[in-house]
Amino acid sequence: MSSASELSSPISPVTPAPAIRPLSLRENFAWTLPANLTYAACQWGILVVLAQVGSTGLVGLYVLGLSITAPIFVCASLQLRAIQATDTNAQFSFGDYLGLRLVATVVALVLSGGIAWGLGHRDAVFWTVMLLALAKSFESISDVIYGLLQQRERMDRVACSKALHGPALLLGVGGGAVATGDIVGAATGLVAARLLVLVACDMPLAAWIAGARTSQALRPRWQPSMLKGLAALGLPLAVVTLLISLETNIPRYFVIHQFGVTRLGLFGAIAALITFGGIFTRAMNQVCSPRLAKMFHAGDFGGFRRLLGGILAAYLVLGLLGLAMVPLMGRWLLGTLFGADFSEHINLLLVVMLAAAVAYQSGALTTSMIAIRAIGSQLPLRLMTVATSLIGCMFLMPRYGLLGAGMALVMAKLPFVIASLVIVLRATRSGSGSGSQLPERD
């Protein structure tokens, strides 16, 4: 393990970073929200296209592929973007983040194929998993570039990339699905779209923000002491993010086991509507995470609490609006987006919107805990939420079916919200000490 002096020693990049003006919170949010709206709309469009071109079964295969690859790649991300965005002391260089991300991505790609094969999936399902894993590999490289831009508070450039990604993915998947009529063709289009935006947009952005005119800005660093130090910081978060992903995917695993691929497509499509409000909350979390970290490490606990309190209040209003929307237009929304087979599941949509309201609070508190480096505390909390999700599925789904799976989504988040709020409030009470002390306490 490297010494503290090794980890905190300044890194001398090949080309010094330019003095690029960070944007204000308002400016960053104004860029991020519409970009996330575009991206999420296109993600919904993918499910709509698959449902219209193929069937609920085609949607189910897509959701199945994501259910296998998402937990693996979420874990392999090591939450490097969040760590990078809140790395206010420049403890690690961009090359360190990129080097570790590349190693973890290769491991995730191999694991995805191995798990799919081990589960007995062959032919179309296996190749779908592999293609989705390859697409996520390209996405993971874009993500570490986003972390650098987010750290410098230039979310306008992240927004441009996201705004390009959304239509490219929709066109790629839609074109592949229409041309071939199967899920493998759709997944191939997804891979092509991810690679195109990475090369044409994200790599030039990395060079711009790093102030380099050559490929040096994109070169990974393989210094063992730095990679070990960064991995040690990210591994607890890797386990946490794996557990977060499992919270969402455990109900899907139960659905496919008990009801099959077609019902999984129905449940997965409706559950994807959680992302409606998540467009707003993810934008806010991304914009505010560097500012929360700076406030905490500067000892501005009052400012930290006020900002976090405003975020939580806004998310509460958003969650209530989502619930109110269901009786007004839920049946029409499901029928219009996915077809008549979906419109009868209005009760499931109501439960999903309740799960979304709780998830918004959970996301804000997760962001704040990373900002204050309360990383170790998250592991037992997430273990509790996964256990709650598992127990909820076991006892609720035999009686309530798909509705029980939605109830399990709600149950999984509630304990985390309560406990993490207590942890953050304790860490930010007046006179609790500087932010630099927190990792030792955790």
Quick one: pLDDT at residue 112? Answer: 94
Q: In whole angstroms, what is the distance from residue 224 CA to residue 194 CA?
A: 30
- pLDDT, tens digit (0-9, with 9 covering 90-100), for 380-429: 888 888 899 999 999 999 999 989 999 998 888 888 899 989 988 888 88
Tokens representing 403 are 């509705």
Nearest to 424 by CA among 383, 384, 366: 366
Checking if the pLDDT of 216 tops 70, the result is no
- Top pLDDT among 414 and 4 is at 414
Global confidence as pTM: 0.70
Quick one: pLDDT at residue 198? Answer: 94
Quick one: pLDDT at residue 212? Answer: 54
User: Mean pLDDT throughout 256-283?
Assistant: 79
Tokens representing 329 are 């237009």
Confidence of residue 3 (pLDDT cuts 50, 70, 90): very low
Q: Give how far the C-alpha of residue 350 lies from the chain's centroid of Cα atoms, to the nearest Å.
A: 23
Among the residue ranges 109-113, 166-170, 363-367, the one predicted with the least confidence is 363-367
Quick one: pLDDT at residue 428? Answer: 86
Confidence of residue 188 (pLDDT cuts 50, 70, 90): very high
Q: In whole angstroms, what is the distance from residue 292 CA to residue 88 CA?
A: 11
Checking if the pLDDT of 335 tops 50, the result is yes
Checking if the pLDDT of 144 tops 80, the result is yes
Tokens representing 290 are 């560097």
Among the residue ranges 6-15, 100-109, 321-330, 404-413, the one predicted with the least confidence is 6-15
Checking if the pLDDT of 280 tops 80, the result is no
Q: In whole angstroms, what is the distance from residue 133 CA to residue 111 CA?
A: 9
Tokens representing 249 are 């995917």
Contact 125, 116 (CB under 8 A): yes
Q: In whole angstroms, what is the distance from residue 432 CA to residue 31 CA?
A: 35
User: Mean pLDDT throughout 172-188?
Assistant: 91
Q: What percent of the chain has pLDDT over 90?
A: 25
Among the residue ranges 79-83, 363-367, 438-442, the one predicted with the least confidence is 438-442
User: Mean pLDDT throughout 7-11?
Assistant: 39
Checking if the pLDDT of 325 tops 70, the result is yes
Quick one: pLDDT at residue 217? Answer: 52
- Top pLDDT among 19 and 382 is at 382
Among the residue ranges 28-37, 186-195, 302-311, the one predicted with the least confidence is 28-37
Quick one: pLDDT at residue 430? Answer: 60
Quick one: pLDDT at residue 276? Answer: 65
Tokens representing 104 are 């973890």
